[in-house]
Amino acid sequence: MNRKPARSGAVVEGVDWDRWSVILCKPDAVERGLVDPVLDRLSLPSVQVLGRTEVTVAPWQIHVHYWDMLVDRDWFPDRDIPACLDTEFAGRAVVVALAYGRRSLHGWLRDQLGHYSPRPSPSGA
């Protein structure tokens, strides 16, 4: 992809979004030095990991990322979800990378990385 959007935040026309995905390595992976092993594990001849950058998370960013937890707060009646997200992520570094590869890349990445919750995630994911 050599084209840039006409303005910041605009959608690039003609891009096959089924072949692109975002990889987010959370603060615990950054702090434990696991970013390189994780991204290396995902890099195959059919998948390229590109555009890696480190970002210090602002509260609004983590609230947007986990909007579903904020919308469905009643799932966690005994927790202040915004405060929990701020404590866990705000002000900490994450690594964001782009992945480009085969069609349906998203499902393959999810299989490789495991479920977002450790309980249903298979060992080694």
Do 117 and 95 contact (CB within 8 A), yes or no? Answer: no
For position 117, what pLDDT does the model report?
Answer: 66
Per-residue burial over 50-68, b = 16 or more CB atoms within 10 Å of its CB, e = otherwise = eeeeeeebeeeebbeebee
Is 3 among the domain residues? no
Residue 125 pLDDT > 70: no
Between 9 and 56, where is the model more confident?
Answer: 56
Rounded distance, CA 50 to CA 96, Å? 10
The residue segments making up the domain with residue 87 are 58-91
- Output the six-digit token pair for 21: 């995905």
Do 53 and 93 contact (CB within 8 A), yes or no? Answer: no
Rounded distance, CA 70 to CA 75, Å? 10
Q: Which of 16-25, 66-75, 78-87, 89-98 is least confident? A: 66-75
Residue 46 pLDDT > 90: no
For position 10, what pLDDT does the model report?
Answer: 60
Total domains in the chain come to 2
Neighbours of 99 (CB within 10 A): 21
Instruction: Please tell me whether residues 81 and 99 are part of one structural domain.
Output: no
Is 66 among the domain residues? yes
Per-residue burial over 18-34, b = 16 or more CB atoms within 10 Å of its CB, e = otherwise = ebbbebebbbebeeeee
For position 90, what pLDDT does the model report?
Answer: 94
For position 1, what pLDDT does the model report?
Answer: 46
Instruction: Please tell me whether residues 46 and 36 are part of one structural domain.
Output: yes
Instruction: Please tell me whether residues 36 and 85 are part of one structural domain.
Output: no
Is 51 among the domain residues? yes
Instruction: Please tell me whether residues 51 and 73 are part of one structural domain.
Output: no
Do 33 and 119 contact (CB within 8 A), yes or no? Answer: no
For position 116, what pLDDT does the model report?
Answer: 66
Instruction: Please tell me whether residues 49 and 70 are part of one structural domain.
Output: no
Residue 36 pLDDT > 50: yes
